[in-house]
Amino acid sequence: MKENREPSKQQLTKHYGTDEDQLKKESDDDALFDHYTLVASKGQRPLRVDKFLSNLLPFTTRSKIKNASRTGSISVNGKEVKLSYKVKADDKVKIMLPYPPAPKLEAEEMDLDIRYEDDELIVLHKPPGMVCHPSIGHHSGTLVHGLLWHIQHLPSAKGDIDEVRPGLVHRLDRDTSGIMVVAKSEYAMSHLAKQFFDRSTGRTYQAVVWGDVAEDSGTIFGHVGRHPKERKLYFTYPNGEAGKHAVTHYRVIERYGVATLVECKLETGRTHQIRVHMKYIGHTLFMDKEYGGDKILKGNPTQKYKQFIQNGMKILPRQALHAKTLDFTHPTSGERLSFDSDLPDDMAGLIDKLKKWAAHQG
């Protein structure tokens, strides 16, 4: 079987005789797309941009390049261009491409909580504990496996797995619940990925964090990148010395004394962004094991209080984070769609318990 691997920058440079800086690849974190910047060499003769991109990105199909053009995802020197544009020497060409759909996998029957569906996309509620896509250690039981089963068993399914594969354009952590959108067509993938790249989607999350957040609302600035010591974790770099630019807006919904329910709105979508930003300002998410939220961080540690917190941790054995709302523009109709989801039972149960404790203390 021929392996479909993406060539490295060194391979492209060697094969096409390009400059070392001709190809640069950037990726976002929670949104699933790649952003390529290509600089035409000084000896570049006028060449259609679609041909230019096909030459330098041989792992990308012509149809993907065409869809990128249709969604305004190709620009030259900062301006959107059509496929007929002729690339010249020193032109800076940018293209944004969604990640390819999952490879051929065995579909698995699952009870998916689908809130909306049409020919282009699916909006669903992801439960806590479900991994979005296959990865090391997660070869089955993922959201993609369940979506494959669902789409293949629709009356409209063609029976060809290559025609019905779902495309994730963003993701949620395994233990984060909430609303997600999934593309069903290649055009929808390109269109939705472009919206996430342009940050024209709207996303709000709700989180229970340790402590009484001082301000009713605020904005957290700080690059987010890999932790300097724990490579599986992330870290806030307030001076921008590492990581990527990240901004989180928050507002307080309810206070419980030892904890606070907050709404977070993302301006950027970095991996673990809310989790590390809230930790950075001293309010780690409740039961966020990876960032120390599974310990008693606030409150008077009496035996009664310890028992109360331990009971709360049994109710919610994962980080208290839920993707509450999502809005975006439909790829074909142009209609602005908005979706809201109730808090899952575990998080709602914790909040109810915190409310009763706060009322009793007051």
* Residues classed as catalytic: 173
DSSP reduced 3-state for 50: helix
Q: How many CB atoms lie within 10 A of CB 148?
A: 24
Q: How far apart are CA 292 and CA 23, in angstroms?
A: 40
Q: How far apart are CA 129 and CA 154, in angstroms?
A: 26
Which position has the token pair 């940050």? 199
Which position has the token pair 């809130």? 115
Dihedral sign of CA atoms 104, 110, 116, 118 in order: positive
Q: How many CB atoms lie within 10 A of CB 100?
A: 18
Structure tokens at 361: 């203390």
What lies within 8 Å, CB to CB, of 182 at 6+ separation is 121, 122, 123, 124, 147, 166, 167, 168, 169
Q: How far apart are CA 253 and CA 274, in angstroms?
A: 16
The vertex-191 CA angle with 189 and 196, nearest 5°, equals 90
Neighbouring C-alpha atoms within 13 Å toward the C-beta of 109: 1
- Of 1, 4, 5, 36, nearest to 22 by C-alpha is 36
User: Is 86:46 a contact under the CB 8 Å cutoff?
Assistant: yes
Where helices occur in the chain by DSSP H, the ranges are 9-16, 49-56, 62-70, 143-152, 161-164, 186-198, 273-280, 303-315, 345-361
Q: How far apart are CA 102 and CA 223, in angstroms?
A: 30
Start-to-end CA distance of the chain, whole Å, equals: 68
